[in-house]
Amino acid sequence: MVWLYLVLGIPFLFSPIVPLLHKKFTPKIHTGWFVLWIPLLIFFAFLSTIPTLSSGEIIALSLPWIPSYDINITLLIDGLSLIFGLLISGVGFLVILYSIYYLSKHKEALHNFYIYLLLFMGAMLGVVLSDNIFTLYVFWEMTSISSFLLIAYWFEREKSRSGARKSLLITVFGGLAMLAGFILLTMMTDTHSIREMIHSLGEIHSHSLFLPAMVLILIGAFTKSAQFPFSIWLPDAMEAPTPVSAYLHSATMVKAGIYLVARLTPVFGGGEVWFWLVSGIGLVTLLYGSFNAIRQTDLKALLAYSTISQLGLIMSLLGLGSAALALDAGNAKTAYALAIFTALFHLVNHSTFKGCLFMVVGIIDHETGTRDIRKLGGLMHIMPISFTLALIGSLSMAGLPPFNGFLSKELFFTAVLNASEISLLIPVLAWIASILTFVYCMIMVFRTFTGQPKHKLGKQAHEAPLGMLIPPIVLAALVVILFFFPNVLVQYVLAPAWAAVLPPLAQEGLLTVHVSPWHGVTPELLMTLGVIVFGLILYKTLKKWQKLYRTYPQALTLNHIYETSLERMESLSLSLTKRYMTGSLRDYLIYILTFIIVAVGGAMVFSKGIVFDPSLDASFSIYELALLAAMVISAVTVLLAQTRLTSVVAVGSLGFLVVFFFVLFRAPDLALTQLVVETITTVLFLLCFYHLPKLKKENTPLPTKVVNGLVSLAIGIVMTMVALSANGNPLPESISGYYENAYELAGAKNIVNAILVDFRGFDTMLEILVLSMAGLGVYTLIKLRMAGGKENERS
């Protein structure tokens, strides 16, 4: 089974070769033909695992990546991964085939397109096959990035770029939340493997981190799957080429969140919070998407909102189904478990009919030059095949027989009717959403294909080439086939997946289902009839009530909120930065000093480090005090000086007094050095005096003066406190006793010089280096005048 690694690695391995092939064969052969075999190979690889999986086994492979951190590329193929694997590779094959006819080999940068697409395909396969959650996260982010690249494929368009940015911001936000959730999850379970997490169930549910982990991971899943209120990126992602929309934004990437929820249902499911969050948000999304789809005038935007709504449907089913894990055995339990099955079934159905619809819309766009419903009409006779395909897809989406959407819609009604014992609102909302779904499906088909042909179209409309029609025909055929023979799929693919989502029930053998179109006259059938009747009424009266949409305030739309909050954040951070980054060094100095005061002073206060112990102080004599007074006077003179010369003189006298202090404290070498340095500094001051402006009386406002005074006072107090406390605390014994052997060890009678050149000669060497650097620096500053330097000198 190790060859599976190779098969799944092929998208990544092949993508660097794509540009080479593109360069060599363009424009003779369309680059897509070279890529086409990859999804086909993967598809057959997945098909070959079906016998193993349907017998109840799973395939697990592990390849070390960062073994010391227990992060490995672990492939886990069970029923759930199989569904997604088949969808990704199968729809991927059709989409690449479609794109060969859709994208022109003369005009488009095809190598970019196929590299991005292959990266996406590989990443998506990685997401659904990874058992290690951190590997899963890596692939998850790769899907975000490759999706970003694909949405902005026509990067010269402003709308493509903004759509790509929006989707990246939202999905990466969710991805990061999910990463945090994963980390919490590993902290709780002490494992990185999802399979092992399921085994340590009992401990997790009572853990204090359980809820945060669940919410964070759900945010990740909801953003990726365009659930309310994170759904706004999906309609804007429709700026991508249509094959991308069909592949990423209907069949695969948006289902990554669904996959994650389904995959983690055994871990988190069974609790009330999970149930209400997943099913509640799912229902809201279902209603929101179907409600908004009706008002769209762009076909792809309509399909985007319908995708949102269908994803909400699947999500709510997953939520409802999680109740099965909480209940004891009985009829209710199996009934709730059926919701999970329905979710998986509809997942497959949705991929088929939505992929088909996107491709049809792409064909319309390609052949007429517009996707605007208001400009289209009467295409039925011009494009009969496309019309048939659109009809099949739409009716399946609306949930009518004889298409697979009918089966999953009936099962959906069964599930929500079951849940009516929890809340009556659930079936009612679901039913209303289904009516709205019916309405937009009607709009999509009949506004586009019937009525009068309009003559404003940019191109002479005609039927698409056969190659472009084959992929949607295959999908539409699946739509019909799945209606008549659903049980083959159920037995070989859906049943193992169902078992993977609800492992405890699978062990009890409770998961059996037989899907058939006809159940007799049941409430579900009546609900479907109601959907058709009310849907037709609403469609006929559409013009009258469509004005309702205009009454909804623009300011409350999610997009508006997103845009304004983005703008606000930018202007807020800009004004914030402008406020504190003033460009004035004085302000920055105030920040730095205040930080020192707060950090050092706070640490001193909170660690109770302020200790004054006068008993350790040495005694002092009266002339030391008098000298101190002289120093203070000199220092204050520097502060209050009216002319620069006065302050230079005062600094000089301060230096002389320090020399005397060094003498008093018996440090002859220091006194010597201090004296020389002091004199040179004074001379240097005088040297640059000529170039300095006159010391001006500064008109600083009073508050600034007060702040300056307070800060300088505080820093002085803090430093004094630190010094006194350092002296007050008992210190370890000094090491200076060692240096008293200077004569024996280094042959030196001067202990200070012995330390400087012998014991700690390295410091001296580097100080010499500092001096030479300073000298060189001064020299270059004076001698080397780059452009502009001379002008400064003249002025």
Partner 1 sequence: MIEGILFWVIFLSLCFSTLSILATIYRCVKGPTASDRVQALDALGINIIAAVAIFSVFLRTTAFFEVILLIGILSFIGTIAFARFIERGIVIEREHTD
Using the CB atoms, write b or e for 542-557: b if 16+ within 10 Å.
Answer: eeeeeeeeeeeeeeee
Burial of 307 (0-12, 13-18, 19+ CB in 10 A): buried
Considering beta carbons, is residue 327 or 630 the nearer one to partner 1? 630
Q: Could you say which of 543, 547, 579, 666 contacts partner 1 (CB under 8 A)?
A: 666
Beta strands at 71-77 and 59-66: parallel, antiparallel or unpaired = antiparallel
Q: Does residue 773 touch partner 1 according to CB under 8 A?
A: no
Q: Cβ closer to partner 1: 546 or 673?
A: 673
Tell me the backbone φ, ψ of residue 61, rounded to 5 degrees: -130, 145
For residues 267 and 278, give the distance between their C-alpha atoms in angstroms, rounded to a whole number.
14
Q: Which of residues 602-621 bind partner 1 (CB under 8 A)?
A: 621
Which of 629, 776, 778, 781 touches partner 1 (CB under 8 A)? Answer: 629
Q: Does 476 bind partner 1 (CB under 8 A)?
A: no
Q: Is residue 599 a contact residue for partner 1 (CB under 8 A)? A: no
70: left (phi over 0), alpha (psi -120 to 50) or beta: left
Interface residue with partner 1, options 451, 668, 761, 789 (CB under 8 A): 668
Binding-site member from 83, 513, 671, 748 for partner 1 (CB under 8 A): 671
Which is nearer to partner 1, 521 or 692 (by Cβ)?
Answer: 692
By CB under 8 A, residue 626 contacts partner 1: yes
Q: For partner 1, which residue of 603, 676, 770, 773 counts as binding (CB under 8 A)?
A: 676
Answer yes or no: are the C-beta atoms of 121 and 92 closer than 8 Å.
yes
Please give the backbone phi and psi of residue 77, each rounded to the nearest 5 degrees, phi first: -110, 105
* Amino acid letter, 674: Q
For the CB of residue 677, give the shortest distance to partner 1 in the complex, in Å: 10
How far, in Å, CA of 498 to CA of 646, rounded? Answer: 90
Binding-residue total with partner 1 (CB under 8 A): 37
Q: Which stretch binds partner 1 (CB under 8 A): 67-75, 149-157, 434-442, 624-632?
A: 624-632
Alpha helix ranges (H) inside 103-129:
110-129
The whole-angstrom separation of Cα 472 and Cα 458 is 24
Residue span binding partner 1 (CB under 8 A) among the ranges 97-105, 138-146, 375-383, 678-686? 678-686
Q: How far is the CB of 745 from partner 1 (least distance, A)?
A: 21
Asked if 664 touches partner 1 (CB under 8 A), the answer is yes
**How many Cβ atoms are within 10 Å of 783's Cβ, its own excluded?**
7
Could you give the C-alpha distances from 150 to 11, 116, 145, 190, in angstroms and in order?
Answer: 16, 6, 9, 37
Distance CA 593, CA 778 (A): 29
Closest approach, Cβ 743 to partner 1, in A, equals: 16
The answer to whether 686 contacts partner 1 (rule: CB under 8 A) is: yes
Query: Helix crossing, 256-268 with 110-129: angle to 10°?
Result: 10
Based on CB atoms, which residue is closest to partner 1, 683 or 766?
Answer: 683
User: Is residue 64 within a helix (H) or strand (E), and if so which, with residue range?
Assistant: strand 59-66
| Single-letter amino acid code for the residue at 535 | G
Q: State yes or no: residue 627 binds partner 1 (CB under 8 A).
A: yes
Nearer to partner 1, 180 or 638 (CB): 638
Interacting residues with partner 1 between 688 and 707 (CB under 8 A): 689-690
Q: How far is the CB of 777 from partner 1 (least distance, A)?
A: 20
Given the complex with partner 1, which of 135 and 634 has the nearer CB atom?
634
C-alpha distance across the termini of the chain, in Å: 80
Please give the residues from 644 up to 663 whose contact with partner 1 meets the rule CB under 8 A. Answer: 645-646, 649-650, 652-653, 656-657, 659-660, 663
The total number of residues written for the chain in this structure: 795
H/E stretch holding 8 reads helix 3-14
Q: Answer yes or no whether residue 630 interacts with partner 1 by CB under 8 A.
A: yes
Minimum CB separation of residue 580 from partner 1 in Å reads 39
**DSSP tag of 517:** S
Q: Assess contact for 224 and 260: CB atoms under 8 A.
A: yes
Cβ atoms of 490 and 52 within 8 Å: the answer is: no
Site string for partner 1, 143-172 (x = CB under 8 A): ------------------------------
Assess contact for 669 and 756: CB atoms under 8 A.
Answer: no
| Nearer Cβ to partner 1 (33/660) | 660
Question: Pick from 631, 576, 583, 616: which is nearest to 731 by CA?
Answer: 616
Candidates 313-321, 375-383, 393-401, 680-688; binding stretch for partner 1 (CB under 8 A) = 680-688
Q: Tokens 């919070």 identify what position?
A: 273
User: Which residue lies nearer to partner 1 by CB, 556 or 782?
Assistant: 782
Given the rule CB under 8 A, which of 37-45, 158-166, 355-363, 633-641 is the region that contacts partner 1? 633-641
Scan residues 3-42 and list those touching partner 1 (CB under 8 A): none
CA 616, CA 608: separation in Å to the nearest integer?
19
Both structure tokens of 547: 């004005």
Task: Tell me which of 200, 516, 546, 643 binds partner 1, using CB under 8 A.
Answer: 643
Instruction: Compute the least distance from the CB of residue 739 to partner 1, in Å.
Output: 17
Residues lying near partner 1 in the complex (CB under 8 A):
621-623, 626-627, 629-630, 633-634, 637, 643, 645-646, 649-650, 652-653, 656-657, 659-660, 663-664, 666, 668, 671-672, 675-676, 678-679, 682-683, 686-687, 689-690
